Structure 1
Amino acid sequence: MERASAMDGRLVLSFLVLLLFLVDVSRARVIRSAAKQQRICGYE
């Protein structure tokens, strides 16, 4: 039982890390696209 719970804990932890990583990546993309739009608006 202890081994199973440890495995579940690791699985949940890795899943959370992956989720945070995806959120970070999407956030960086949004910031980049926003910066590009601001640059275009600035030039125009």
Structure 2
Amino acid sequence: PKTVLLLFASGKLVCTGAKSEEMVYESIVKIHGVLEDYDLLFKDE
């Protein structure tokens, strides 16, 4: 989807450009996979 995701150091995420809620979920799933590939996901302690 043609969306822009802003990921802040606090862990908050803003998604813009999506034309539907479904497109937001698709974008989140896609970026989650990319972050996993680069080992950039961390769990809260």
Fold shared, TM-score > 0.5 on shorter chain: no
Question: TM-score, normalization: structure 1?
Answer: 0.44
- The structure with the larger Rg is 1
Looking at secondary structure, tell me which structure has more helix per residue: 1
- Greater relative contact order (Cα < 8 A, sep 6+): 2
TM normalised by structure 2 equals 0.44
